[in-house]
Structure 1
Amino acid sequence: MTTSLTDWGDVHPTHRYAAEVATGMRECCEMEIRACKRHLDDLKRQATEDFPYVFDESRADRVFDWFEKCCRHVRGVFSGQLIELLPWQKFDLGCVYGWVHMETGQRRFRKAFHLRARGNVKSTEMSGLALYGMCADAIYPPGDPSKRQFEHSPEVDCAAVDKGQAKRVWGDAREMGLKSPEISKRLRIKRGYIEHETRGGLLKPLSKDTKNKDSGAPCLVVIDEYHAHPTSEILDVSYSGFGKRLQSLMQIISTAGKDAENSPCKKEYDILRKMMRGETPMQDTYFVMIRELDDGDDPHDESLWPKPNPVLQEDNAYSEELRKQIRTEHDEAYSSGDPDKIREWLIKRVNRWQADSENKFMAGIMDKWKALAVSREAFLALVRGLDVWCGLDLSKRIDLTGDGFVFKLPDGRYAVTAHGFMPEETAKKHEHTDRVPYRSWAADGWCTLTEGAVTDYRFIKTHIHDQEISEKWKIVEIDYDPYNATHFAQELEAEGYQLVEIRQGVQTLSEPTKFFRELVLTGNIVHDGSPLLTWCLSNAVELIDNNGNIKLSKKHKDDSQRIDLIAAIINALARAMLDTGPKKSRYETEDVRAI
């Protein structure tokens, strides 16, 4: 199939929108421009050996007709009226549903990631698609609707972070089905379930509380507000059910969010932006549409608001009301001076990711930290035989505890690594409360799960000793937080180690804490990429006194976002930074054979 973009009357709405964006006729962000150019480039290479897909206009038109002839608005001033798709929606839907395999007709895209600001009809769109998955989604060879096949016993999951949100998504679809005569005659819609009249199946809510999450064979999974998901569990479990159907599809939809360092949605977002920029290989079966303000855009400039709010591209009553609401919230947030309100506006209205706390220690520079990592093998080769300061942060015996190691490299840089310890019996529980994979990290050697229900400090002592012997490190001293450590410190001292107590006030910790951040900012620190250390670092909040002194803390004492490993490193750095110059390792000054 060839497409002429000059004959506008014959151009499919999907292609027309792509051309308008690609040629600058619409105000769009970088990621949307790249998505449109990707579509146009794919049209040029379709039905080739390297790209066995074609754009089937009938498949795209089928989903357009579903919305505009069957689906009705369920709330607001348009309630009860048939939905009229906007040009940008026809692009998104056309791409996801129009691209198919050139021989089988199976849908090309298995995943679709949609990121746009609040108020841009996410719920309406996903509700209509959930119902489409139950009633009308079909497969047939390109251009031959006469051979159309529907899924027997279709399964559609409306997935969200918790039961309440999942039921809300499901409830919107239920309400839309009830208000649409064309849909309600196809479905059996009850208070607690939705099934097809003749083909069975089920449209159901799905959350972390759902039992037997991994027992289905979904045709369609809608992941709602992915930014709010603390882990990728729902996405991963749902995706693992693919393969039982011919063209299962996952629609991931969200705004930006908080907790930009730990969010699985933010991680997915970062990966996909690199892919769209050509920094990583393109995944041909993953559709990506990220609508946001670009880096450097002024969030106060109303002319740029259509970038994250595609509804504002159109001139209608709804777009006018949405613009007024965004402007009102903007003025209220910035006139209040309340950082929380400002962050909320930036997240929800212009789709900018924010740290979940204004005083995060590493806010804005976690990417710099991650870029300073080297492989574990390279790290060990770099520090082998060097002097090292060992820091200890001993928490409650049922929680995470850690030792940290700080080296001064010959070139003036610092190198740091750390190791965690946790009771094996409580690791599974902590995986749920802390939302991180302790057991997987233990299998990879980043932490040790000690036997029983409490941490056995003998494992820490063994770890310190083994590092010194196997890696030929010379431990200058062990610098420890005295809390919970008096007896353990005495045992270490009895074994010949030099022990230094590090008081935990800002007077002691402020300088090494500030120095650590300075090392990251200047690129004068290297680490081994420990995901556990990086997680602890991303959790750290800084407490500031009236004199500008700082120390690290969790948000509150019972918080599950732990910081123990970075606390151990700061204890060691407090002493290492005072050292007047690099000392030669005893392996350089003594006969190695005599050691």
Structure 2
Amino acid sequence: MIFEKAVRYAERVAAGKEITTKEVIIQCKWFLKDLERQHDDDFPYYFDETEIETIEGILSLLNFATGLGVTGKTILDGLEGFQAFFLVNIFGWRFKEDPDKFRYRDVTLFIPRKNAKTFICALIFIILMLTEDDYSEFYSICLDRELAGEVKKAMTQILKASPYIGKYFVVPKTLSGKIICKLTNSFYQARTGEANKNNTIRPSAFIADEVGAFKDYGNINAMKSGQLNVKNPLRFKLTTAYAEDKSIMLEELAYIKKVFAGIIEDDRMFALLYYAEPEHLWDDTGLYQANPLRIEENYNEIRDSRKAALEKPAEREEYLCKHMNHFLPSNSGEAYVNIEDVRKCKIDSFDWSGRQVWLGLDLAMTNDNCSYSMVTEEDWKIYAESFAFVPTERIPEKNRLEKINYYEFIKQGVCFACGDMTVDYGFIEEMILAIEEKHKVIVVGIAYDRYNCLSTAQRLERDGYKTVEVKQHSSVLHPATKLLKEKILNKEFHYTENGLLEENFQNAKVTEDANKNIYVNKKKSTGKVDMVVSLINAIYLLQQDVIFNPDANFGAQVI
């Protein structure tokens, strides 16, 4: 029953019959596809229907304690489709070589208030305490003592409403007390406080509850370190959005979206992200995207909150964060461009020979990524190539911290390792000086940021190239930033295979200044954006020559 309910939900989402987010659509499609390919020899996982039958049996003996329209029902009968989908994926997928080992290790549920998040937390712990190894330890961590007690409260209510299961649990009255399962001698405990107080525990599974409020990974890392000797560690992150632009959840969401975009491969991650897309923050589409618990009374209450928020600015934070699952303040940065729109601009090949080109440089700190981009124009379409440069001896560290494989991009020829612990500017300069001969082009001009690039610009000038300083200010960068986005959306921007450039686009966040000028903000972006910055610098120069010099005959090849 729960399996069939999960499949129906996935099929409805995949068929476009549910209003939801693109990430949920992808996760549902993956689930349906994996069910088909689980019998393939090269697929390492299988779906254990026997385990799901066990879960189903437990749910049939558990009762809802509270909730609109479900009080007195068994949890099995009252589960919503998305809840069944969530549980089935967590507990059903296993390793073929070790059926006791869960496929999914890192699980995220990003969901607004009033969608039974705490209920799901409680249910997960009750199931784990009944099904995992004897003497297992389970914890929830939360920064706030009152919030930490909510999971324990929900567990207590479910167990008290379920006599056939509740009699096998010991429930203490204090917050710090442990809920103990008498059948397995496993226990659950809510934890708060500093990370160093969680360094001595050994969690088989833990839930980081309300991660949106976390500003560092101290508590989570303490829990993860305690799982080093655990055979089957599970890590859950559950949260609603917060008015906190330093939240670690912003980084988590950026990583998850890269996995869904195919930029990073992580088949041990499962995530359901429910939120209103920016263009739907104030309409019913966003209401349904963000809130998968289909209860009309809740929707009417949220609509009332929306009306109040439109009239009273002081109430907008509550509405946007807690009901639309939208992080605030807005200066946390908005995505520059959808990665799927970028990928529609990819072409198989391009002949650069005989063309006029403009170059853009981004030569940040010598121990960080640097980049140059080359662009040309034909029939008002922009064609581009971008290259990155990284310090050779920092690559292993960068691979680990940025969760991408620079060695693969070096092999593809879109990234170059140069220098040891710092980038060798001389190497980059020699590559730029060889561009005309290598690509059979004429370099019209080179745009650069004065910071960290002055000496390189001076050398290029000595070799006869025209260099133009581009001040990295919103008023200067806005036209080129806007033009590039428009060209991408109109499919008038083209590039050849370059996964690292796509990674940079995925990372790029833009912010507005007081005059509504947008610019790519490196500090707000969720990873390296040097290739996008160098591309915008190059387009700035092209834009000056092509748009503001209408008599120029650009687009034609030079002989």
Distance 2:389 2:29 in 1: 49
Give the C-alpha shift of residue 523 in structure 1.
1.0
Match of residue 143 from structure 2: 164
Contact 1:110 1:250 in 2 (8 A): no
1:66-215 to 2 correspondence within 5 Å?
67-68=62-63, 85=75, 87-89=78-80, 91-92=84-85, 95=88, 110=104, 114-133=109-128, 135-137=129-131, 151-156=133-138, 158=140, 164=143, 172-173=150-151, 182=167, 185=170, 191=176
Cα gap change, 1:296 to 1:512, in 2 (>3 Å) = closer
Q: Structure 2 CA distance, aligned partners of 1:479 and 1:287?
A: 43
Q: Counterpart of 1:540 in 2: which secondary structure?
A: strand
| Contact 2:436–2:443 under 8 Å retained in 1 | yes
Change (3 A) 1:335 1:382: farther
Offset at 1:126?
0.8
Distance 1:514 1:412 in 2: 15
State how 1:503-514 maps to structure 2 within 5 Å: 503=471, 509-514=477-482
Identical positions, percent:
17
In structure 1, which of residues 329, 333, 354 is the aligned counterpart of residue 305 of structure 2?
A: 329
Distance 2:534 2:334 in 1: 15
SS state at 1:118 partner: coil
> What's the counterpart of residue 8 of structure 1?
none
Q: 1:425 to 1:312 in 2, by over 3 A?
A: same
Does the C-alpha gap of structure 1 residues 295 and 543 become closer, same or farther in structure 2, counting only changes over 3 Å?
A: closer
User: What residue in structure 2 maps to residue 7 of structure 1?
Assistant: none
Whole-Å separation in 2 of the counterparts to 1:418 and 1:223: 39
Q: Deviations over 1:16-45 (max 9, x none)?
A: 798799999xx9646899999999999999
Distance 2:438 2:335 in 1: 33
2:328 counterpart of 1:349: no
One-letter code of the match for 1:265? Answer: L
Structure 1's unaligned 5+ residue stretches are: 1-11, 139-150, 275-282, 315-319, 590-595
Residue 525 (structure 1) shift:
0.9
C-alpha contact 1:402 1:420 (8 A) present in aligned 2:
yes
CA contact (8 A) 2:212 2:242 kept: yes
One-letter amino acid matched to 1:368: D
Counterpart contact for 2:504–2:531, Cα < 8 Å: no
Which structure's CA Rg is the greater one? 1
What is the one-letter code of the residue matched to 1:371? K
Structure 1 residue 403 and structure 2 residue 376: aligned?
A: no
Residue 541 (structure 1) aligned to one of 497, 511, 515: 511
Which residue of 2 is the match for residue 572 of structure 1? 538
Structure 2 gap ranges (5+): 160-165, 547-552
Q: Deviations over 1:72-115 (max 9, x none)?
A: 78xx99xxx999647135745774588689x9986987476655
Deviation string, structure 1 residues 214-268 (Cα, Å, up to 9, x no partner): 9999754546457789999979x979x89975x8766564557899x97543664
Spell out, residue by residue over 1:186-230, the C-alpha distance to the aligned partner (whole angstroms, 9 max, x if none): 8999949887779666757899x969x999997545464577899
Q: In the aligned structure 1, how far is the partner of 2:398 from the partner of 2:39? A: 50
For residue 349 of structure 1, report the CA deviation from its aligned partner: 1.6
Give the length in aligned residue pairs.
513
Where 2:376 maps in the other structure, the secondary structure is strand
Q: Is the 8 A contact 1:60 1:93 kept in 2?
A: no
Q: How many angstroms apart in 1 are the aligned matches of 2:312 and 2:147?
A: 33
Distance 1:503 1:531 in 2: 25
Contact 1:63/1:93, CA 8 A, preserved across alignment: no
The amino acid that maps onto 2:358 is: W
Three-state SS of the structure 1 residue aligned to 2:535 is helix
The question of whether the paired residues in 2 share the 8 Å contact of 1:388 and 1:475 is answered with: yes
Partner residue of 1:265?
A: 253
AA of the residue aligned to 1:543:
D
Q: TM-score, normalised by structure 2?
A: 0.64
Change in 2 beyond 3 A, CA 1:538/1:345 = farther
SS of the residue aligned with 1:119? coil
Q: Residue 372 of structure 1 corresponds to which residue in structure 2?
A: 345
- Is the CA contact 1:187–1:197 (under 8 Å) kept in the aligned structure 2? no
CA contact (8 A) 1:370 1:529 kept: no
Q: Distance in 2 between matches of 1:291 and 1:553?
A: 26
Deviation of 1:137 after TM superposition, in Å, equals 1.4
TM-score (ref. length: structure 1): 0.61
Give the match for residue 415 of structure 1.
Answer: 383
Q: Deviations over 1:260-316 (max 9, x none)?
A: x97543664686699xxxxxxxx9x998867667999895459x95775455528xx
SS at match of 2:79: helix
d(CA) in 2 for partners of 1:35, 1:398 = 37
Paired residue for 1:523? 491
Cα RMSD after superposing both structures: 6.2
In structure 1, what is the equivalent of residue 163 of structure 2? none
Q: Distance in 2 between matches of 1:200 and 1:45?
A: 38
SS in 1 for 2:402: coil
Q: Which amino acid aligns with 1:407?
A: T
Shift of residue 415, structure 1, vs aligned partner: 1.9
Once residues 361 and 54 of structure 2 are traced to their aligned partners in structure 1, the CA distance between those partners, rounded to angstroms, is 62
